[in-house]
Structure 1
Amino acid sequence: MSKDDTTIPPRPRSWAYRAWDSDVAYSFRTSPVAMLAGLVAVIIIAMAALAPWLAPFNPYDPSQLNLMDGFTPPMEPNAFTGNTYWLGTDNQGRDVFSTILYGARISLFVGFSAVLFAMVLGITLGLIAGYRGGWVDSLLMRVADVQLSFPSILIALLIFGVARGFIPPAYRETMAIWVLIVAIGLSDWVQYARVVRGATMVEKGKEYVQAARVIGAHPIKILVRHILPNVMGPVLVIATIGLALAIIAEATLSFLGVGVPPTQPSLGTLIRIGQQYLFSGEWWILLFPSITLLALALAVNLLGDWLRDALNPRLR
């Protein structure tokens, strides 16, 4: 080879190519169940996000409602107005398809926000308990053990009721969604904290953490830059499955009448409304919101199961 010959270095791969060529992406592409669940979840989330543009009507705008359209069966013209609706109407004449889109929007917002709040709180407390140890670890874990002895839905009901007691009556409806997010988040932080605590106790004894301590790195820097990235795998799996549980918890609380206000009904509120008219023959008011909630929760659960297997090195 002459001196004039130069070797062209290989072109670096983009992050998109590396992500597509990763083991997790390959596992997703080769799993029909994961792909179908992902497609269903993406469709529901996209339709809920685009509800103002996709919904034929705004079910919360009184000017667009006609009580004469109430209890119209799906794809059948109303006897009084002659209007036809894809999925029928409810007792107030609201288009069920539109209410599902707007209701799923609220359910997803509450679910994502509650999971994010529980994840941040649980990760923070788990890192502190695992790294500090001693009485701090014992205190946090005893609180977690006490909370685990009660069903999470009862914890959420208790927190929701106590929080509403401190809110002035004039602000209860406007703050109801945020109170619901805090209630569900506080009832689900324990599982994140316990997993992160265990992983932190393992990681803090490894050489890279000891080296960071020797050079005088601050404990917060060690936790955030060194330990946290190595404990996020199990947390992502818990968060994915926890999203489905948070959506179901929100639907349960709304079904019991202690969730979002009736002026902004979620899927749980729609199911509660439909249940009142099930035995009088208006089955569609209950059926279609229930199918939407079932499909969303099942799709997210299946994605969580796939992610758990994909991130498990023993199954590769």
Structure 2
Amino acid sequence: MTDVTTPAKPQSRLVRVLDSDLVFSYRRSPIAIVASIIAVVLILAAILAPWIAPYNPFNPRTLNLMDGFTKPMSTSFAGNYFLLGADHQGRDLLSTILYGMRVSLFVGLSATLFAMTLGVSLGLIAGYRGGLLDAVIMRIADIQLSFPAILIALLIFGVARGLIPANQQENTVLVVLILAIGLSNWAQFARTVRGATMVERQKDYVSAARIMGVPPIFILIKHILPNVVGPVLVIATIGLALAIIEEATLSFLGVGVPPTQPSLGTLIRIGQQFLFSGEWWILAFPAFTLILLALSVNLLGDWLRDALNPRLR
């Protein structure tokens, strides 16, 4: 009698993901769990701001100067209740923070994606081609890394604003801000990807693809790029937190988004004017939100770096 064993069913993709080392590391990291919950709550609150915000802070018809400087958890002279208080213009601070967080997240995420795309592309080209092109790209990256990112962003922002007509500056401020922050942060992506590409191009599967006549662009995209995604994700996660802080710094210095569409940095700049006059909440709550958002994303980046490091397993 022949013993016939039935082959085991292949596991579904969801089961493989849940059994992966990354998910196992996430379950064993309370800091990553708490940070991810905070980040998801803040991001969802920003996305759903038009539906969950108590007021529309940018609608002049709903603003009342009698609501100005209303303290947190109190009712104004006009009869409106403000959970986090109101600013000097009578805008609900909770609603303003939700809308401002949308701007900060949009600029930070867009700038990070732009920096990642530019840096990964240049890193792949430099690491694969080598020679003079590699030397030129890396020397530019070295020069840029020798200066603080905020100074480079200020320089790029100033030059771009000088080239744009005055009547178009307010409409293009978000694009200029994204380009300035993105161009100041691409070098880290390029250096990391370039080093990983130089290792991968020496391996047998790349040599086999060359012998088969596969074009270099397909070798870079289909073969080398998937093997350098791990470090890129870590840098992108940490870079997102840095981009949000960089945008807040530029807005705090008065060269970011205008008060008509404020970000968290703009709200902090407005709030610091009233800190010593007793209206502390105008500064405290936007600053606390910015710290919470940047810290949660940064902690996720630290966890992802450790989880993807094979030496720590």
TM-score (norm 1): 0.97
Give the equivalent residue in structure 1 for 2:171.
174
Correspondence for 1:42: 40
1:54 aligned partner: 52
Deviations 1:174-209 (A, max 9, x none): 110111000000000000000000000010001100
- 1:76 maps to 74
Post-superposition CA distance 1:78-131 (Å, at most 9, x none): 2x2132200000011000000000000110011110000000000000001000
Out of 114, 136, 139, which is 2:136 matched to?
139
Separation in 1, partners of 2:228, 2:5: 41
Q: What is the alpha-carbon distance in structure 2 between the residues aligned to residue 299 and residue 281 of structure 1?
A: 29
Residues in 2 aligned to 1:273 and 1:15: alpha-carbon distance in whole angstroms: 49
Matched, 1:283 2:309: no
- The reply to whether residue 225 of structure 1 matches residue 222 of structure 2 is yes
Provide the rounded CA distance (Å) in 2 between the counterparts of 1:121 and 1:82.
52
The equivalent of 2:9 in structure 1 is: 11
Identity of matched residues, %: 70
Measured against aligned partners, the alpha-carbon deviations of 1:53-72 in whole angstroms (never above 9, x if no partner) come to: 01011111111111110000
Per-residue CA deviations over 1:272-306 (Å, capped at 9, x if unaligned) read 00000000000000000011000011101110110
Query: Superposed, which structure 2 residues align to 1:52-131 within 5 Å?
Result: 52-78=50-76, 80-131=77-128
**Aligned: 1:267 with 2:286:** no
Q: Which residue does the alignment assign to 1:163?
A: 160
Q: CA deviation at 1:232?
A: 0.9
The one-letter amino acid paired with 1:244 is A
User: 1:11, CA displacement in angstroms?
Assistant: 3.0
Per-residue Cα deviation, 1:197-240 (whole angstroms, up to 9, x for no partner): 00000100011000100111100010000000001111100000
Unaligned runs of 5+ in 1: none
- 2:13 is aligned with 1:29: no
Structure 2: distance between partners of 1:85 and 1:96: 8
Aligned counterpart, 1:247: 244
Distance 1:201 1:249 in 2: 31
For structure 2, the residue ranges without an aligned partner over 5 or more in a row are none
- The alignment's TM-score, normalised by the length of structure 2, stands at 0.98
Q: Shift of the alpha carbon at 1:6?
A: 7.6
Distance in 1 (alpha carbons) for counterparts of 2:5 and 2:103? 57
1:302 aligned onto 2:307: no
Query: Could you tell me how far apart the structure 2 residues matched to 1:273 and 1:204 are?
Result: 52
SS at match of 2:196: helix
Shift of 1:9: 3.9
Of 14-23 and 291-300, the range deviating more from structure 2:
14-23
Pairing 1:191–2:188 present: yes
Q: Give the counterpart letter for 1:65 in structure 2.
A: L
Q: Which amino acid aligns with 1:275?
A: Q
DSSP-derived class of the 1:82 partner: coil
CA distance in 2, matches of 1:179, 1:256: 16
Once superposed, which parts of structure 1, at least 4 consecutive aligned residues long, lie more than 2 Å away? 5-14
Matches of 1:221 and 1:147 in 2, distance apart? 30
User: AA paired with 1:273?
Assistant: I
**Alignment length, in residue pairs?**
313
| C-alpha RMSD of matched pairs (Å) | 1.2
C-alpha distance in 2 between matches for 1:161 and 1:244: 23
Partners of 1:89 and 1:304 lie apart in 2 by: 34
Q: Are 2:151 and 1:154 equivalent residues in the alignment?
A: yes
Deviates more, 1:82-91 or 1:278-287: 82-91
Q: Deviations over 1:131-154 (max 9, x none)?
A: 000000011111111111111000
